Amino acid sequence: MSSAAQIITDRVRERVRRDGADLSTSTGLAQTYVRDEVRRYSERALAGAHPLIDDEAATEREVVASLTGLGPLQEYLDDPSVEEIWINSPTRIFIARDGVSELTNTVLTEAGVRDLVERMLQSTGRRVDLSSPFVDASLPDGSRLHVVIPDVTRKHMSVNIRKFRRSVRDLAQLVALGSLSAQAAEFLRASVGAGLNILVSGATQAGKTTLLGALLGTAPARERIVTVEETFELDLSAQDVVAMQCRQANLEGSGEITLRRLIKEALRMRPDRLIVGEVREAESLDLLIALNSGLPGMCSIHANSGRDALVKLATLPLLAGRNIDSSFVQPTVASCIDLVVHLDIDRRGLRRVNEILAVTGVVTGPVIETSRLFAVRDGLLEPSGSYPTRTGKFEAAGIDPLPILRRGLG
């Protein structure tokens, strides 16, 4: 922050304290206070009391951001081309555009980083301290915040802010972005309409949450959708939707609400479709039990390929306890999951669907059998010539996926 902006900021804060105003409830009020102080500063500068301001409008924006927004980070939050912001140290602040990272010229202080973190957490009801050195939270604009503090980190706070593309709400937009072919989008739209259970897999930042939201954008309007996540990330426009997130334990160590608890509670809420933002641990068992009851659902998982995603989903439930055996889990995964949609992100930052697998329901030894319906050839996602072996859900919904899959084949 320039010396002029710092002087103006201090004067605005002094005036706010004197007037007893609350700038957090009104950006317009903050702009009025700042505009007044910028004018007063400029008048004094003309008299030689202060250095002149080169750009009054830019100074106003900088001061307003420091008072009501996230200071030097606000410009990156306002920039739609920026996908993620992370702070490794006060002098090492990065952003990512189109999947490619770059070091910014923004410089903060240790106190400035702490102030930003406290300001971001203020509206979330979550905390980060020595007893709880990690925190995940959703910011008011839907961005996801993750913070780790020393001594878990070596010296400085580590801060990640991941923004989400609210503009992507359906599969057609992903087709326009080149992340999906029109033929694959049509098949996925039919699959959602038929109530297939879909597992979305991929690496970090591959676009799993965005694809989940786009898939849900094609769900029938009459459906009641219940979503459970560690922190709110999905942004759904459905008419009947209930979104729930986990809760940290309080200072006394009680009050924690886990994904396992949320999945169980969701089943009591009359869902037509259950969505788990991401499965990482034992909650995968509760999800499989829910899907095994006939409830349609979707979830995402970190994996290197579609087949690896199934292996991982068949392994994670074993974390739920010694009485859980792979002889139960593998057949359950094979019977519950209908499709695996795998995404990847290349070195240029391009995110796209890499393959779509249909689960056959057959388990051969340790392998859950699949057929690859779509795969990338010469840079394009195309049908492979294989077809789903389980078509009961399509038939019950009066949908025939075969004409979609046959199109374009010789």
- What is the per-residue pLDDT across 125-172, written as a single tens digit (0 to 9) for each? 788 888 889 888 888 777 889 999 998 999 999 999 988 766 678 899
CB atoms within 10 A of CB 20: 6
Alpha helix stretches (DSSP H) within 135-181: 171-177
Counting residues of the chain whose pLDDT is more than 70, the rounded percentage is: 97
Summarize the confidence of residues 279-286 as an average pLDDT: 94
Q: What is the pLDDT at residue 363?
A: 94
Burial class (CB in 10 A: 0-12, 13-18, 19+), 405: buried
As a whole number, mean pLDDT of residues 246-255 equals: 80
Q: What is the pTM of this model?
A: 0.79
CATH fold of the domain at 171-406: Rossmann fold (3.40.50)
Give the integer Cα–Cα distance in Å for 104 and 338: 44
SS3 182: helix
State mean pLDDT over 335-360: 94
Q: What is the pLDDT of residues 67-126, one digit of tens each?
A: 777 778 888 988 888 999 999 999 999 999 888 899 999 999 998 899 889 888 877 778
Predicted confidence band at 196 (pLDDT cuts at 50, 70, 90)?
very high
Question: pLDDT, tens digit, for every residue of 11-58?
Answer: 888 887 787 776 666 667 888 888 888 888 888 888 777 888 888 888
Query: Which two tokens mark 231?
Result: 């922190």
Greater confidence (266 vs 12) lies with: 266
Cis (ω within 30 of 0) for the bond into 338? no
pLDDT, average across residues 308-326:
90
Q: Is the predicted pLDDT of residue 320 greater than 90, yes or no?
A: no
Which contacts of 35-40 are long-range, i.e. CB under 8 A and separated by 24 or more positions? Answer: 35/60, 37/8, 37/11, 37/12, 37/63, 38/8, 38/63, 40/11
* Residue 346 per-residue DSSP state: -
Banded pLDDT at 195 (limits 50, 70, 90): very high
Question: Looking at per-residue confidence, does 120 or 184 come out higher?
Answer: 184
d(CA 30, CA 22): 9
> Looking at residue 177, what DSSP letter applies?
H
On average, the pLDDT of the chain sits at 89
Whole-number percent of the chain with pLDDT over 90: 55
The CATH architecture that domain 70-163 belongs to is 2-Layer Sandwich (3.30)
Q: Is the pLDDT of residue 374 over 70?
A: yes
Give dist(CA 62, CA 12) in Å, integer.
13
Of 26-40, 226-240, 388-402, where does mean pLDDT reach its minimum?
26-40
Confidence grade of residue 369 (pLDDT, cut at 50, 70, 90): very high
pLDDT, residue 5, reads 82
37 vs 276: which has the higher pLDDT: 276
